């Protein structure tokens, strides 16, 4: 049973009032709220187990190391990795993509090689490849997004040629909510020997994911978008790839032996984890995964689908509201971007905030997609496990109210 009322009880922040009104938090694509199980795990770690990992042989160091490694195991199981060696702890999805660009890209790509991205990428899956391509003389090519928010998959096949070395694509768009057919793309690339990176920042929190089914070489996600603390995320990469990739950052922990003139790298995944990581954050991330696992990711997905369906229907009924991206949930989840005729998205967000409703306005770190859609900005409502149909009703009432206000002013 997916019991939203009891889920909501686990989130202390949901009891807050904003401007005298109960908080309606609809900015989950930016970051989600944290259940007390995660908050308690952070407090308990610092109160009872705090020590540095992998180095000490005293009790606290061993406990902290075991808890940190247990969190890695949980992530591996959650996404169906073959082994926890395939999970590298990083700060966030952005760092994970930079790691791949820096380490794999600088080593295995050469002048004239091509990388395919989509027009709907978050800046974090665009800028690292721009930096790499200008350094190495690579060519970036782009699969388009049609007016309904779908990737132009037939055109993608035509973009692939002998120089294509990598395709890096967002799984669920953080603007349009489109679920891109990454399984299909992965299968197609498998035969062609092209590497495949999936940006799972929005999909890993929302749907059941098994890397083997995605046929991907790399998958990235951030803890803070799936109930966990900020400051931690993961890179999944196939074991054979991590073995052949050089380190990203140098320093303590990523080495086996250090001499004055050279060093020997540690085994994977430690080779990519230089310095003291966010130990507490990683353990909190593990707790967040426990929480989602206990709900069941199929149930999480279905709950969001129902909310998205409901919100789409209600928004479509409002005159002057334009929706972007798919208008049904066959291939959309959790994220709805919209505009209201004649009212700037920032004014919409500010007016809704007065009603206690948190939505996002702006580019959502996807400026090229907004340029493509000829938009200066959009409003975005994004849902998660604790949101309710009543909260969507409040959003709709809030929109009605602000339309009346702006039409009179």
Contact residues: ligand PLP, CB under 6 A: 29, 92-94, 122, 124-125, 170, 174, 199, 201-202, 222, 365
Q: How far apart are CA 100 and CA 96, in angstroms?
A: 6
Closer of 64 and 385 to ligand PLP (Cβ): 385
What is the smallest separation between the CB atom of 346 and ligand PLP, expressed in angstroms? 18
What is the smallest separation between the CB atom of 29 and ligand PLP, expressed in angstroms? 6
Judge contact between 160 and 152, C-beta under 8 A.
Answer: no
Closer of 236 and 398 to ligand PLP (Cβ): 236
What is the smallest separation between the CB atom of 390 and ligand PLP, expressed in angstroms? 26
Among 384, 371, 365, CA closest to 175: 365
Given CA atoms 339, 345, 350, 351 in this order, what sign does their dihedral have? negative
- ∠ CA 243-248-252, nearest 5°, is 95
Report in angstroms the alpha-carbon separations of 374 from 125, 239, 324, 340.
Answer: 21, 42, 11, 15
Closer of 92 and 164 to ligand PLP (Cβ): 92
Closer of 334 and 398 to ligand PLP (Cβ): 334
Closer of 221 and 312 to ligand PLP (Cβ): 221
379 labelled catalytic: no
What is the smallest separation between the CB atom of 125 and ligand PLP, expressed in angstroms? 6
Q: How far apart are CA 108 and CA 245, in angstroms?
A: 9
Among 356, 352, 319, 359, CA closest to 335: 359
What is the smallest separation between the CB atom of 55 and ligand PLP, expressed in angstroms? 28
- ∠ CA 300-303-306, nearest 5°, is 150
358, 365, 375, 396: the catalytic one is: 365
SS3 state of residue 199: strand
Residues known to be catalytic? 365
């Amino acid at each position: 049973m997916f019991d939203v009322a009891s889920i909501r009880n686990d989130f202390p922040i949901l009891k807050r009032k904003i401007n005298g009104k109960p908080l309606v938090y609809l900015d989950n694509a930016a970051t989600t709220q944290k259940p007390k199980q995660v908050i308690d795990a952070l407090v308990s770690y610092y109160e009872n187990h705090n020590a540095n990992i992998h180095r000490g042989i005293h009790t606290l160091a061993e406990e902290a190391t075991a808890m940190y490694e247990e969190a890695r195991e949980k992530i591996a199981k959650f996404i169906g990795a073959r082994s926890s060696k395939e999970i590298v702890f990083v700060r966030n999805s952005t760092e994970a993509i930079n790691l791949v660009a820096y380490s794999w890209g600088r080593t295995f790509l050469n002048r004239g090689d091509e990388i395919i991205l989509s027009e709907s990428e978050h800046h974090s899956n665009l800028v690292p490849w721009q930096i790499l391509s200008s350094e190495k003389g690579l060519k970036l090519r782009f699969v388009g997004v049609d007016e309904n928010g779908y990737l132009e998959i037939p055109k993608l096949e035509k973009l692939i040629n002998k120089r294509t070395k990598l395709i890096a694509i967002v799984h669920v768009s953080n603007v349009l909510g489109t679920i891109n057919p990454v399984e299909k793309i992965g299968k197609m690339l498998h035969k062609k020997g092209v590497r495949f990176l999936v940006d799972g920042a929005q999909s890993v929190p929302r749907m059941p994911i098994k890397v083997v089914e995605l046929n991907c070489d790399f998958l990235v996600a951030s803890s803070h978008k799936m109930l966990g603390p900020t400051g931690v995320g993961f890179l999944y990469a196939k074991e054979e790839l991590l073995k052949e990739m050089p380190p990203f950052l140098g320093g303590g922990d990523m080495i086996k032996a250090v001499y004055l003139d050279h060093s020997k790298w540690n085994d994977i995944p430690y080779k990519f984890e230089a310095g003291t990581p966010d130990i507490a954050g990683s353990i909190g991330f593990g707790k967040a995964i426990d929480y989602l696992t206990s709900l069941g990711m199929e149930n999480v997905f279905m709950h969001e689908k129902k909310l998205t369906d409901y919100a789409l229907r209600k928004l479509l009924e409002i005159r002057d509201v334009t929706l972007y991206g798919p208008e049904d949930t066959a291939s959309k989840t959790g994220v709805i971007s919209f505009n209201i005729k004649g009212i700037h998205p920032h004014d919409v967000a500010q007016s809704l905030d007065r009603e206690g409703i948190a939505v996002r306005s702006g580019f959502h770190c996807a400026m090229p997609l907004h340029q493509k859609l000829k938009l200066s900005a959009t409003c975005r409502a994004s849902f998660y496990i604790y949101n309710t149909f009543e909260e969507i009703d409040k959003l709709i009432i809030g929109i009605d109210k602000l339309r009346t206000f702006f039409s009179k002013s």
